[in-house]
């Protein structure tokens, strides 16, 4: 059986949010699974010297327009959260904690957190906000808060971020298929063709 596709994303990434709406469907059409791997793009920026896209003069203005246009095309709600960018440490920790017990539950939490931030305008930058979203989909709020403060989970996220950087992950979304990397929401169509054709 083919290895799962690795889907790397930062919860503060609006293009990651768009990709999150489609990546599982594209994979399923080609009989593949997806491993969702939240990471901290801020740690990558320290290596690459990059800055948040929406903060860049001219590029940021274009990206906001492009994001809104893409969301309309997909017919999904979208709004840049306020404040933005936001810290996604707690969201990442909660997802890895839950994924250890149930990978599908971890993915469902990631999807709910993305919706909360970019569709509902909710704050997921702190443990309380993350726990509120988790509670909405049936998880124990106090357990989530405890998990994101657990040193073992903190270490687990650090390991995941280090591993992502070690694989060359420098942006969000960043998708790896059998060792082949694809960066950006605009590569999703290429990904579908790559999976269907077996690559080129």
The model's pLDDT over 129-141, given as tens digits with 9 standing for 90+, comes to 999 999 999 999 9
pTM for the full predicted model: 0.96
Q: In this predicted structure, what is the pLDDT of residue 137?
A: 98
Report residue 99: phi and psi, to 5°. -65, -30
Average pLDDT over the chain, rounded to an integer? 96
Kindly write down the DSSP assignment for every residue of 53-118, as one continuous string: GGGSTTHHHHHHHHHHHHHHHHT------SSSS---HHHHHHHHHHHHH-HHHHHHHHHHHHHHHH
Q: In this predicted structure, what is the pLDDT of residue 10?
A: 98
Q: Is the pLDDT of residue 16 over 80?
A: yes
User: What confidence category does residue 2 fall into, taking pLDDT thresholds of 50, 70 and 90?
Assistant: confident
Rounded Cα distance, 157 and 93, in Å:
6
Cβ atoms 182, 191 nearer than 8 A: yes
Residue 138 tokens, joined = 């049936």
Which among 85, 93, 75, 96 has a CA at the least distance from the CA of 16?
85
Residue-wise pLDDT tens digits, 167-198: 999 999 999 999 999 999 999 999 999 999 99
Q: In this predicted structure, what is the pLDDT of residue 45?
A: 93
CATH 3.40.30.10 fits 5-197, yes or no: yes
How far is residue 170 CA from its own chain's centroid?
13
Q: In this predicted structure, what is the pLDDT of residue 67?
A: 97
User: What confidence category does residue 91 fall into, taking pLDDT thresholds of 50, 70 and 90?
Assistant: very high
Residue-wise pLDDT tens digits, 141-157: 999 999 999 999 999 99
Helix, strand, or coil (residue 174)? strand
Q: In this predicted structure, what is the pLDDT of residue 28?
A: 97
Cβ atoms 107, 36 nearer than 8 A: yes
Q: Is the pLDDT of residue 82 over 80?
A: yes
Q: Mean pLDDT throughout 120-136? A: 97
Q: Is the pLDDT of residue 1 over 90?
A: no
């Amino acid at each position: 059986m083919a290895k799962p596709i690795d889907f790397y994303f930062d919860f503060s990434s609006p293009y990651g949010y768009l990709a999150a709406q489609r990546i599982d469907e594209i994979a399923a059409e080609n009989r593949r699974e997806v491993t969702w791997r939240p990471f901290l793009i801020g740690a990558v920026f320290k290596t690459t010297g990059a800055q948040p896209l929406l903060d860049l003069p001219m590029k940021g203005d274009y990206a906001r327009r492009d994001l809104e246009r893409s969301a309309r095309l997909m017919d999904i709600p979208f709004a840049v959260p306020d404040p933005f960018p936001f810290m996604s440490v707690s969201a990442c920790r909660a997802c890895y904690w839950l994924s250890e017990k149930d990978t599908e539950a971890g993915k469902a939490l990631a999807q709910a957190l993305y919706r909360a931030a970019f569709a509902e305008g909710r704050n997921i930058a702190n443990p309380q906000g993350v726990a509120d979203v988790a509670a909405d989909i049936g998880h124990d709020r106090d357990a989530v808060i405890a998990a994101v403060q657990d040193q073992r989970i903190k270490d687990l996220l650090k390991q995941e971020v280090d591993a992502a950087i070690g694989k060359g992950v420098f942006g969000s979304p960043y998708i790896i298929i059998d060792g082949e990397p694809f960066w950006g929401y605009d590569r999703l169509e290429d990904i579908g063709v790559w999976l269907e054709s077996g690559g080129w």
